[in-house]
Amino acid sequence: MTSTASLSEMATKAEAYLAELRRQAPAARMIGEFAVKKGIETVMQRLQTVAPSSVRSDVKPTTVVTDSQIQVEPLDNYDTLTARQIIETLGTLTSAQLQSILDYEILHRNRVTVAQACRRALKDSI
């Protein structure tokens, strides 16, 4: 009988541990994304000091990602912008920047209006 009680106790502890991990996962991901973003900014700043003529200031660091990777915001403060603010800037961006916004949007907030506007802008830029 004690082994059944021990198994039940272990199962309860395991469930509590998993629940705690699930609760902490979003915060850990956010911290990881922030660390990567700051790391890229630091590298870009250092490159600017070492070789200022070879670093274009108009290029923002971006990466295409899978779920196992972390993506840097395609525009400064992108996550704080409304859909309307993003759509208003699309006409001033390159095809690569538009694709980066579309990829980021689909993986994160997945706003249909932003994704459709990006696709239209990409089509118009061809």
| Domains of the chain by residue range | 1-56, 58-126
pLDDT of residue 52: 64
Quick one: pLDDT at residue 68? Answer: 45
Position 55 confidence tier, pLDDT thresholds 50, 70, 90? low
Mean pLDDT across 75-92? 92
56: pLDDT strictly greater than 80: no
Mean pLDDT of 105-122: 91
Above 80 in pLDDT, residue 51?
no
CA–CA separation, 46 vs 9, rounded Å? 53
Rounded mean pLDDT of 27-37?
82
